[in-house]
A and B are shown apart, each in its own frame.
Chain A
Amino acid sequence: MAQTTKNASSVQRAPAIVVALFILPAFALFAAVLLYPMASALGYSLFEWRGGTNLVRFNWFDNFVVLFTEHPFVEQMPRAFLHNIAIFAGTLVLQNSAGLFLAVQLHRLGPVRRLFQVLYTTPYLVSPLVVGYLWTLLLSPTFGPVNAALDALGLDSLAVSWLGEPATALPVLILVSVWQWIGFPVLLYGAALGAIPPELNDAASVDGAGGWRRFRHVTLPLLTPVIGTVSILTFIGAMEMFTLPYAFGGATGSPAGATDVLSVLFFRVSFQSGASNALGVSSALATLLFLFILGGALLGRRVIRAQEEKLS
């Protein structure tokens, strides 16, 4: 008996070291490529710099104060922030609704659904920069096929300057982003739908529930965790979105700042300005963005968890 206890405890103790040893390489890598840059960005934001990397002095939160009090940030930061929020809201609605709709339709399709899953996921595999430039070409009012087709169909009143008008540039950006990433929620929802035991739906049918009520009261509640995951990932993706707005509007968010977002503002300040203290101010901006995304994601997680608990 004593022998057994000893064995059991040594079995419990040994993995602790082994586990640590196994975790160490991954943690070291994580620390080197993620924790260290994050911590150093926070550090950089507390200093004043001259000419790239020449450290001048510790200046507490001056760089953050600049972001909230000085031109152009007082004007450009709220504008960019609102665009990020609009992208998040638009993407959230479209990706969850269209993604779920497509996933439900594919789920009913049977074996051919794999083909469509691959098709819907294909744009997801292309770099957003390439996607951006391709859509710029497609939507060009001068040379693009989209407006040429509209003209040919007699719909020339719809053939507007898609990326040249502030009123259409941001909605187009959102639609193209949804077009590119839709495959991801389709896959997630598809997997979640497959995991719902058919007995539940069968039981609801026996109780007299129709198609819509089965979906509304059986399927949808069971998808809540996945909807939560997709929403949080959408939030993170929308808040730190850079490549697609950059491909569409360049570093200034053309036209007239209509596609400017926080990451593009960061790029402009840190890499494109000849400002001497670019490192300090841009690090402050990056730190703010990180804190906001972290806070938003944690908050979202709580909301979703509360919903899940209500269900169980």
Chain B
Amino acid sequence: MFMGACGGGSGASANEVRLTVWTWSNEAMNAFKKAGIIDAFEKTHPGIAVEVVAQLDKNYETLLTTGLAGSGSPDIVALRSYGVLSSFADSGNIVPLDDVVKDWSGFSKPALAGAKGKANGKFYAVPQGIQTAQVYYNKKIFADLGLAVPASWDELIAAAQKIKDSGVAPIVIPGSVAAQISLAAEILGNARRGAGDFEQAFIAGRKNLTDPDNVAAVGLLEQIQPYLVDNVTSVTLDEAVTLFATGRAAMFPSGAWQVTTFANLGAEVDYGTFDVPVNAEWPSKAVTVSYADGGWALAKRSAHPTEAAVLLNWLAGAEFANLYANAMGTIPARDGVTLKNPQLAEMYQRYQSTPSTYLGAAYLRYGSPSGTDLLGEQVQKIWLGETTPARAAQSVQTGVNAWFRPADFQHE
């Protein structure tokens, strides 16, 4: 907490202002320091020095709660999107940025949705990045069986059957982790539910999760059950990654961060990605499921709000987005970025043409119980034969009814 007062790094002059930035991520801190992000900023902004501090991951929100409330507050803090950010906005310890940041035009709509305070619809963070979620597939297994990337849901099921017949598990999902199940359910079902149209109807209060299209979307999880790895409800995230990376499972619905995981594993797996293909009668075309992945917020008790605003405007620009996304191996929250990693570049391109919001992350994590936790548990029950898709969808809706009000999200 006294970081802000230390100053005095190499080259710091007497009237130089030193800004402190907090993040939960060691990787982010390293990217700032080693990939030349701080240098790039300081070179064009003499008189402002930047120090990035990574705080212990698990206690990050607790540390922030006290750090932002006391003296010696950091100037800019990384915050997780949606519910967490909104909760900090409620506390009054971070300030609205609508007038602080000059240009919001480069950011995508899903990225901005994650940066809003629920109470007043104002922006409380500069979006940091996007996670896209898609299906990873093993190119070698597909090629050996003469399979192409499926062009419809029916083709996907047919391909899964062929893979199963060859003795390989067609699909792996980390079925012991509620959040991972929920993500997989969203990858498979977003388009079946009706994608953006359903989202609009959902927050307008015209449709809820018991809608037949959403029940059908949850039903896809039941449809793929014969093609899942054995004992799916015991599979952890690490096991799922291992099964896919070693070629024991052919498809793996998951987030963009797996690109980095696979690279770090040094796995030889030759993989590609695709968005879940749709059948002709479905209400939507194929989409890229995406959600906002953190943002930069301005502390109310920052000792240097003017300089912090300068830094925030730079963090909102294309120069930073290019450096940061390439150093971190993430999908940028704004346009005008060239990604060097071909897998990520492909995801970024698909995302820009057909983005669709991860409904659970964007709207159902602002209260207790979290809608994504509930969905994860209900899908487990489907797989264990304890419930049906219709009852599962009803149960999630009943759960979130405790706190979810569509009107809370209608600020525009």
Contact = CB atoms under 8 A, between A and B. Distances in A.
A177 B179 CA distance: 26
Interface string B87-106: 11111100000000000000
Interface stretch (B6-14, B198-206, B266-274, B394-402): B394-402
Contacts of A254: 176-178, 233, 376-377, 380
Nearest to B242: A143
Contact of B88 (A52, A272, A278): A52
Contact of B231 (A50, A141, A272, A275): A141
Contacts of A272: 370, 373
Interface in B347-398: 365-370, 373-374, 376-377, 380-381, 384, 386, 398
A164 interface: yes
Contacts of A256: 233, 377, 380-381, 384, 386
Interface string A99-139: 00000000000000000000000000000000000001000
B71 to A, nearest CB: 16
B84 A274 contact: yes
Contacts of A52: 65, 87-88, 90-91
Interface size class on chain B is 35 or more
Given A252-B376, A274-B370, A276-B90, A163 B83 contact: no
A269 B90 CA distance: 17
Nearest to A248: B176
A52 B62 CA distance: 9
Given A142-B235, A256-B386, A281-B368, A51 B87 contact: yes
Contacts of A164: 175-176, 231-235
Contact of B402 (A72, A166, A276): A72
B210 interface: no
B178 A252 contact: yes
A188 to B, nearest CB: 34
B88 A51 contact: yes
Interface residues of A, number: 38
A268 interface: yes
A53 interface: yes
Given A164-B176, A273-B367, A53 B65 contact: yes
A76 B369 contact: yes
B193 to A, nearest CB: 22
Contacts of B377: 252, 254, 256-257
Contacts of B234: 140-142, 161-165, 255
A309 interface: no
A271 interface: yes
Given A273-B367, A275-B367, A54 B92 contact: yes
The secondary structure that dominates the B interface is helix
Nearest to B66: A53
A310 interface: no
B231 A53 contact: no
B209 to A, nearest CB: 14
B243 interface: yes
B183 interface: no
B23 interface: no
A269 B368 contact: yes
Contact of B90 (A51, A136, A250): A51
Residue among B90, B177, B386 with max Cβ neighbours from chain A (10 Å): B90
B91 A53 contact: yes
A256 B373 CA distance: 10
A71 interface: yes
Given A51-B90, A51-B92, A165-B384, A273 B176 contact: no
Contacts of B282: none
Contact of A54 (B84, B90, B403): B90
Contacts of B367: 273-276
Interface in A161-217: 161-166
A251 interface: yes
B307 interface: no
B369 A273 contact: yes
B42 interface: no
A275 B176 contact: no
Interface in A196-255: 249-252, 254-255
Contacts of A163: 176, 234
Nearest to B83: A274
A71 B370 CA distance: 12
A136 B377 CA distance: 19
B402 A273 contact: no
Taking each of B86, B178, B386, B401, which has the highest tally of chain A beta carbons within 10 Å of its own beta carbon?
B178
A278 B369 CA distance: 11
Contact of A274 (B87, B233, B376): B87
Interface string A275-297: 11010010000000000000000
A268 B376 CA distance: 14
A212 B232 CA distance: 49
Nearest to B61: A271
B121 to A, nearest CB: 16
Contacts of B136: none
A182 to B, nearest CB: 25
A72 B399 contact: yes
Interface in A34-82: 50-54, 70-72, 76
B229 interface: yes
Contacts of A50: 90-91
A54 B229 CA distance: 46
A180 B116 CA distance: 46
Given A256-B381, A274-B84, A165 B370 contact: no
B368 A273 contact: yes
A283 to B, nearest CB: 13
A251 B370 CA distance: 11
18 contacts: A50-B90, A51-B87, A53-B91, A161-B233, A164-B175, A164-B232, A165-B234, A165-B384, A254-B377, A255-B233, A256-B377, A268-B373, A271-B62, A272-B370, A274-B83, A274-B370, A276-B87, A278-B368
The 6 closest A-B pairs by CB, nearest first: A274-B83, A51-B90, A164-B234, A51-B91, A273-B368, A161-B231
Given A53-B65, A254-B176, A276-B87, 4 more contacts: A53-B69, A161-B234, A254-B177, A281-B368
Interface of A: 50-54, 70-72, 76, 136, 140-143, 161-166, 249-252, 254-257, 268-269, 271-276, 278, 281
